[in-house]
Structure 1
Amino acid sequence: MPNTLEVADLTYGIEYRAILEKWAVDDFSEVDKDPNAIWEMQGGTIGELQEY
């Protein structure tokens, strides 16, 4: 997966890589924040995860 990021033209490549590297080693300590970070990078307008 990291090799794919190296050849892809991603505006937020560093941020994506950091999230994916955490997940690859089962580090889900920010699982409440990571999906929203990806959502924002993709220009999300609906569906943001909310804390309860």
Structure 2
Amino acid sequence: MFSMILSGLICGALLGFVMQRGRFCLTGGFRDMYIAKNNRMFYALLIAI
């Protein structure tokens, strides 16, 4: 049980670090989709999920 929690924390930290360094912003993706009609970040979000 402890190993699952630890591996989840490590994976979450790594994913968060990569997304932050790559400037992957959830709010910016939705903003661009509605205001600028640019779906590129939204499609990246769908692929990530």
Shorter-normalised TM-score: what interval? 0.3 to 0.5
Higher relative contact order, structure no. (Cα contacts within 8 Å, ≥ 6 residues apart): 1
Q: Which structure is larger by alpha-carbon Rg, 1 or 2?
A: 2
More helix by share: 2
